[in-house]
Structure 1
């Protein structure tokens, strides 16, 4: 595979290999990579404007010392509690999740599953057959989400074996693939006709593939990324995009609206804006919920209705919770999806807490103010 730099893709895993960094910068950063790994493609690093100390691509991929601040947990959404087999999660009634991507083309500094690249106990799905059998036995499952890591780091042959098995399950309606390949390394898609043929064949079998591509800043939507998006659209894939709200990267109305408008122009439907999970190492990238909601609403003012379909949510242990409003005294949330189906659609109203980064911060505040039941 060829990159725009005219050579085979180079996965860089050592900060010392980045010539644009000074020896002093490398010395500071290397101690961070001993805790949280570093990985990038030469293509993605080429997007950085090294003359801009606040370049958003640099902040997305190059470690910073603040990551070592003690904050959060390795698995803040308790994903392991919904694991029914190695690499298989079943949290929501209609959806099963396969952790099939063993790695990524690059390591986002705010990754909420960085535990997969830190711990010895591997959660990645190795043996597909037990997972396929589980899906077959649970007919309430309508769709399967392939994630990881990044599924597109797998060989096309490996992906083919998985998609072919899923395509034969009658009660499945669609297959979702979560990936950042169009941003990190779009050539993985554009230069692999066999992958595109696989997508086309799977779609023809009636199992519509929805590609959920992560783009965190408008600078990632390059001509190369657009080419990859177009090629996937030509196979019949439905193209979506999602991103977390990230401090110093897209936490302004202007940056968010530009990202969404560029996404719409590229053929992507904005899907979710996520509250940054309180994962170990993520404090420097997190924005308080109420501040984030204000940014979110202001950003939508600069977009057409096509982008306004996006929802601001947090992936809490109990479900996907949408932040739907602020009043002078209260923050209003709703269960968009829930591990307990009885909670879907329930509204929660809490006293405002400008320092809250997660639902649990409001739970503590409710107890302090003796609000017996936050559900309405």
Structure 2
């Protein structure tokens, strides 16, 4: 698979995933083989990738319509000069919109909710999405990434209030299978854990990985001990391909439940038609539409990806009118510092929110209803 014709016709179900990673596009010079940039844009893109690196698998490059400069797939993976904007009309930005720093227990363990521990298992992803809310970590060395799994395991085992663990990152499915095996099977031995979740965009951006039999054997083996939930991240219906659908089928065959967490993104899925196609497409491959996140006020992301909340509510309401019961089950969510907030709608110019998770020590906030005046351009709420 050395030439363009070869790799675009590749059988990704039979490709060595480790070798294929070496073919990822990781520099502006490599990117120029797939798009045309002016000299000025090229210079600015080199500044962009100093802040958030490029990493795009060939499989995902093959989903892009090269005749459309505004292609939504391209928008999610190509760096943009818009990423140089750090202030603007949408409001303030932050590098830590979800409040990870406040709940960092060290060694990659985040403990925001009493019953859930999140382990930042790796800083590496198969693809570095341009809308990533953990972009300060992904692709870079960070103190917030797991260094010693034994220490993380001891923390989890020592907190019996933790009933479930999320392996996140980065993307934990990009860890070598033996490493992932040690993590999962060690968690399986902790009696007070009811289930484990893995958050991964691999089935979307690099389904090649899912065709390693050792991986699916591991997932099935773990699922025989404790229920396994996989949270995928499809944002657009064109990401649902025969290859990604087959990767999903393999995970489902392991007994795992698969839920999708999408993000509402300007220029990607910001119409009712986009959302209807996405939710229906997910149901068609056996994935549950679960969350649709409001794009977070992330520095170098907010001002070109975030949609004002009023517009987002209108888009979601219109999409739900054209979806069946299973398609409408997703929640439109703000992943706020105070906890997860479901966006219920608007009344008399006010946004109606319901808090569905509260931080440790703030039990009184759980399940509260919140109504707040909302400016037409507001993309976030302050609590």
TM-score using structure 1 length: 0.92
Match of 1:35 among 36, 48, 51: 51
Q: Is the 8 A contact 1:151 1:177 kept in 2?
A: yes
Rounded to whole Å, the distance in 2 between the matches of 1:96 and 1:5 is 41
1:303 is aligned to 2:317: no
What corresponds to 1:246 in structure 2? 265
Instruction: Kindly report the root-mean-square deviation, in angstroms, between the aligned alpha carbons of the 2 structures.
Output: 1.7
Q: Is the 8 A contact 1:16 1:26 kept in 2?
A: no
Match of 1:13 among 3, 26, 29: 26
TM-aligned CA deviation for residue 23 of structure 1? 4.8
TM-aligned CA deviation for residue 101 of structure 1? 2.3
What are the Cα deviations for residues 169-189 of structure 1, in whole angstroms up to 9, with x where unaligned? 111111100000011110100
| SS across alignment from 1:114 | coil
Q: Which runs of 5+ in 2 are unaligned?
A: 88-92
Rounded to whole Å, the distance in 2 between the matches of 1:332 and 1:3 is 49
| SS across alignment from 1:11 | coil
Q: Is the 8 A contact 1:245 1:273 kept in 2?
A: yes
- The ranges of structure 1 where at least 4 consecutive aligned residues each deviate by more than 3 angstroms after the TM superposition are 1-8, 25-28, 117-121
Q: Is the 8 A contact 2:185 2:222 kept in 1?
A: yes
Match of 1:315 among 320, 335, 343: 335
What are the Cα deviations for residues 155-175 of structure 1, in whole angstroms up to 9, with x where unaligned? 000000000100001111111
TM-aligned CA deviation for residue 86 of structure 1? 2.0
1:139 is aligned to 2:155: no
What corresponds to 2:90 in structure 1? none
TM-aligned CA deviation for residue 27 of structure 1? 3.9
1:228 is aligned to 2:252: no
Q: How does 1:166-315 map to 2 (within 5 A)?
A: 166-190=187-211, 192-205=212-225, 207-282=226-301, 283-315=303-335
| SS across alignment from 2:51 | coil
Rounded to whole Å, the distance in 1 between the matches of 2:281 and 2:206 is 18
Rounded to whole Å, the distance in 1 between the matches of 2:152 and 2:141 is 22
Rounded to whole Å, the distance in 2 between the matches of 1:46 and 1:329 is 43
TM-aligned CA deviation for residue 352 of structure 1? 2.4
Q: Is the 8 A contact 1:211 1:238 kept in 2?
A: yes
What are the Cα deviations for residues 73-126 of structure 1, in whole angstroms up to 9, with x where unaligned? 111222111011220011011110000022111111111001104765431112
| SS across alignment from 1:182 | helix
1:22 is aligned to 2:36: yes
Rounded to whole Å, the distance in 2 between the matches of 1:244 and 1:174 is 25
TM-score using structure 2 length: 0.90
Rounded to whole Å, the distance in 1 between the matches of 2:138 and 2:209 is 22
* Distance change (3 Å), C-alpha of 1:342 and 1:175: same
Rounded to whole Å, the distance in 1 between the matches of 2:219 and 2:256 is 7
Q: Is the 8 A contact 2:123 2:139 kept in 1?
A: no
Q: Which runs of 5+ in 1 are unaligned?
A: 364-376
Q: How does 1:76-91 map to 2 (within 5 A)?
A: 76-91=97-112
Q: How does 1:326-365 map to 2 (within 5 A)?
A: 326-339=346-359, 340-360=362-382, 363=383
* Distance change (3 Å), C-alpha of 1:143 and 1:3: farther
Rounded to whole Å, the distance in 2 between the matches of 1:286 and 1:30 is 24
Rounded to whole Å, the distance in 1 between the matches of 2:258 and 2:314 is 27
Q: Is the 8 A contact 1:245 1:276 kept in 2?
A: yes
What corresponds to 2:82 in structure 1? 66
Q: Is the 8 A contact 2:106 2:144 kept in 1?
A: no
Q: Is the 8 A contact 1:93 1:341 kept in 2?
A: no
